[in-house]
Every structure is written in structure tokens, then in C-alpha cells.
Amino acid sequence: MQKYRKYVIIYAFLLCFRLWISQSNSYIHPDEQLQSLQIIAGKFLGWKVELPWEFTSERPIRSIFPLYIMLLPAFYTAKVTCHDFCKPDTIFLLARFTMFLWSLVIDFSICRIVPPAKKWKSLILYSSSFLASSFQTHTITNSMETVFTFLAIMFLSKLAVSSVNNRNSYWLSVAASISTTIGMFTRITFLAFVLVPYFYYGIQWLKINRTNKLSVFNHVLLMIFSCALVSSLCLYEDYKFYGKFTVTPFNNIMYNSRFENLALHGIHSKTQHLFVNVPLLCGPLLLVFPLWNLRKAHAWFWIFPVLVLSIFPHQEARFLLPAGSLYVVFAAQYINSRFLLLLFIIYSTIMSVFYGIMHQNGVVPSVVELSSLLRDNGILNQTSISHRPTTIYYWRTYTAPTWMLALPESSPVNVVQLYNYSKDQSLSRFWDDYYKNQFPEKEFMNLASSGLPVSPIFVCPVALLQSEEDTKGLQLLSYIPYHVDLDDADELPLADLIRNHGIGIYTAKKN
């Protein structure tokens, strides 16, 4: 134990850092809210939510079952501990903590996959990466895809050295099959990440069991049966959720095979993954050249899925999260340069602070702030029958997670995301709404009791409203610091965005 004491201390520190990051308000991608928390909040708590197209199209492409695995523990915990009202921010932090716990499954898998002599090195290098601290603690399906990728590889690696005469090998077969099936229903791209491991470990397994053909056949049959059983469970839950029979993995393949569909989400160069996204995820570790040697199996573990996903012209860095994580884990077995290690630690620290703390940091707190404002003024429990609706406008931010407003289904409060609006167009929309709704206070939302004017609400980065002309007639209700993103760099230099960081909640000044 004394021999590994320093590793234990370093790992414990990195775990604390990961836990701290998990409780931040950063917002890496809209899907971590819209395709996960928003879905469960609407179903489990009955709040007013807007479901994304992935769940409302004629052929839905997302399965509900992986979301249950990922998030129901957090929602059940919140419901048990909160008697009268589940505060959205409490649920949010519980969900992030749940993802932190899921990230520990990857840590455990690393210890079982990597040879004992290298496991501490791999575990610490991975734990120091922003992939572990930032991405894996967010509620995006890519994070769960990574969890199931590592689980499948762990079970396959153990099965590869097991005799088919060993009873334990049957359990490993079942576990590998279950992990693979749930991973496939989580994201169809999961198959690209486990195909090489299945081939690599499958050959090893067949070599040591080539004289037991009947037992090998029984194992394969058991894996197929397990896959069919879990698939049936996923299909049943999807049937209950959608009200019709639907095979979401198949729908996903059909949707993403059409260029015109992908064009709706943005078309990238087919080299985007290899020359932009892989360097972003791996940073200085790209200089670990043995992992580019195609004669090494570890190289194919990450190169193959990158090549497969590069076929599709819509390419985001998060799509490669399992491949990037595998790259970091395997890089630890080859890295010898302390200077390169130092560069990676510096790079990961910067990226952890940016993605894990500051990136779109104001969106979630702004919704929580608005929820409190509406609740304190008795608006959350009002219906559109007795009051005129009010509107909250979000401009130049990620999509607001409206589930965190905790609105009842009949609420007259609406949230509008001003996509592709210029500054002038956004302010014009706000003021048009304001003047259109100048009715006696008794007919409108009574915010006057709190000293607030009767007005729609406008939320945006403060850096974009710096001139007196922009803020003329606006009252800043609340300021949330440390909100930074790169999407506004086309309007302002990055230095100005960082210097004037933060997000503002505005309303019209009282006359």
C-alpha cells in the first residue's frame, strides 16, 4: 500500500476536483438538458416542458430506457427527500452527482482493462483530463455511451482470458451483451466504438477455447438471448413512452443516413473529426506516436470509430468522447516525457475551467432565478384563463432548460429562444411585445407587487449590450457572472467577452 500511496493521494485530489466540477452550472451542449433532464422532468414530475424533435417526430430516434438508467435515481431521490416541492436546482445538482457516480464506473473499468503495472498511470492520466471532469459529469448521452463502451470492453477483456468451462465466463458473456445492447439504445454510434474490441477480444477468446466448440456456441447463444431480452425491455419502455411500437436505433440510422437531415444541424468537412475534434479532446497527447501505429491494436480502438463517424458530414467533438477517453487511457501506457505530461495537465486544467465552470455558466442560474421570481409573485400557479401570458426571451445563449422553471402544464409563461436574431431584431421583438401588452395590471401578470414593471423578460450575455442605446429603457434585474462562450466571438473579440463575462436578466424600466 505504501508503494501506491502517492497515486492514491493524487487520485483522491482529482476525484474531489471532478466532484466540484460536477456541481457547477456550466452548460456544454443543449442536449444535456433538452434530451435528458427535460424529458424526465416532463414525464416524472408533470411539469410544462417542450420536447425536442428527437422525441416528437413521426419516427423518434431516441430511446427512453437509457435516460431512466441515467437520471431516475436523481429524480427519485429528489422526490423522496423533497416533500411538497422538488426544487429544480436540487434535481439538477443530484443529476450531476449521479453522473459523477457513473464516471466512477469508467474508473473501475480502467483498473480492470489496463494491466496492473500500468493501471494507476492510466487512471490518474484519465482522471486529470477534462473529458473525465467536465464531459463525464454532464447529462449528455455521449457520457453514458462512454460508460457502456468501457463496461463492454472490461467484460470482453475478462472474457477473452476465461475458459468456457468456467461458470464465471457465462456471467461475463451476459454482462458484455447487456452493456452492448443498452449502449446501442443509448446512441447508435456506440456500435462503432465496440466493433474493434469485439473482434480483438473475440479472436483471443476463440484461440484459448478452440477445442470447446459446443461451449463456445452456448456462450454466443446466451449473448444473443441476453441481447434480445434487453432489447425487448427497451422496446417495451419506448412503446409505453411513445404510445406506439418504435425501434429508435433503426430510426436513428435512417435519419442520419440522409444528407438533407444532417444539413439541418450543420455540415462539416469530413476531416473535422480527425484534424479538429481529436486534437481538441486529446490535446498534447496527440504526440504519443505509438497510438498512431496501425500495427498496434490499441490504435485501432480509437482510430476505427473516428474513421467510421467521419463518413457522416455532421461532426461534433462530443461524438468522439468514447474514442478520446480510450486514447487518453492507452496513452498513459506509452508516455515517457514529463514535459508532455505537464503540457497535458496544463491543457486539461484550462479546458476543465472553461468547459466545466465558465461555458454558458449563466443559463441554468438565470432559469432558476426566473423560477424564484415567478414563484414569489404567485405566477407559477396561475392559469392562462385568469391572466394574460408573459414571455421570457433568451438571446445568444444555449437553449434555456425550461423544465427548471417548474411550470405547471397550464402555465401562461412562455420561453422563446431567439435563434439567428440580430441584436436589433431581438430588442425590437422585446419592445413590440412590451407595448402590445400594456394593459391594466389586474389583467396582466401582477409583478408590480415586487416593484417590478409589467413587462416581458429579456436574457442575454451582458457583453452584447454595452452601449447606452442598447440598454435604453431596460432595467437589469439580475446579473450572473462567469458566463462565457465562443458563439459570440463573431460579434465581439474574445478578450471583450471574457472581460465583460456574465449574463443579464433585463426587463423594461418602470415609467
Q: What is the rounded distance in angstroms from the CA atom of residue 155 to the CA atom of residue 109?
A: 9
Same domain? 163 vs 103: yes
Residue 378 confidence (pLDDT): 62
Same domain? 415 vs 332: no
Q: Is the pLDDT of residue 449 over 50?
A: no
Q: Is the pLDDT of residue 443 over 50?
A: no
Q: Is the pLDDT of residue 383 over 60?
A: no
Split at pLDDT 50, 70, 90, the class of 451 is very low
Same domain? 254 vs 286: yes
Q: Give the Å distances, CA to CA, from 420 to 66, 191, 224, 395.
A: 32, 35, 48, 9
Q: Which residue has the higher pLDDT, 352 or 509?
A: 352
Same domain? 281 vs 430: no
**Residue at which a domain ends, from 341, 358, 375:** 358
Q: What is the rounded distance in angstroms from the CA atom of residue 190 to the CA atom of residue 230?
A: 16
Residue at grid coordinates 506516436? 289
Q: What is the rounded distance in angstroms from the CA atom of residue 345 to the CA atom of residue 352?
A: 10
Q: What is the rounded distance in angstroms from the CA atom of residue 203 to the CA atom of residue 197?
A: 10
CA dihedral 225, 228, 234, 237 (to 10 degrees): -90
**Residue at which a domain ends, from 298, 332, 358:** 358
Q: Give the Å distances, CA to CA, from 353 to 26, 31, 59, 103, 405.
A: 10, 20, 39, 18, 27
Same domain? 148 vs 241: yes
Which pTM value belongs to this model? 0.93
DSSP 458-497: EEEEGGG--SHHHHTTEEEEEEE---B-STTTTTS-HHHH
**Residue at which a domain ends, from 331, 358, 385:** 358
Q: Give the Å distances, CA to CA, from 240 to 59, 251, 318.
A: 15, 17, 30
Q: Which residues, in sequence order, are CB contacts of 504 under 8 Å at separation 6+?
A: 459, 460, 461, 462, 465, 476, 478, 479, 480
Residue 442 confidence (pLDDT): 42
Q: Which residue has the higher pLDDT, 441 or 355?
A: 355
Same domain? 354 vs 417: no
Q: What is the rounded distance in angstroms from the CA atom of residue 291 to the CA atom of residue 333?
A: 10
Same domain? 283 vs 328: yes
Same domain? 375 vs 348: no
Residue 11 confidence (pLDDT): 97
Same domain? 315 vs 370: no
Per the structure, the complete domain to which residue 413 belongs is given by 363-508
Same domain? 343 vs 389: no
Same domain? 182 vs 126: yes
| C-beta of residue 317 within 8 angstroms of C-beta of residue 283 | no
Q: What is the rounded distance in angstroms from the CA atom of residue 156 to the CA atom of residue 35?
A: 30
Domain count, the chain: 2
Split at pLDDT 50, 70, 90, the class of 511 is low
Same domain? 32 vs 114: yes
Split at pLDDT 50, 70, 90, the class of 82 is confident
Return the closest-CA partner of residue 392 out of 374, 410, 375, 365: 374
Residue 484 confidence (pLDDT): 82
Mind listing the pLDDT tens digit for each residue in 316-351?
999 999 999 999 999 999 998 999 999 999 999 999
Q: What is the rounded distance in angstroms from the CA atom of residue 133 to the CA atom of residue 99?
A: 10
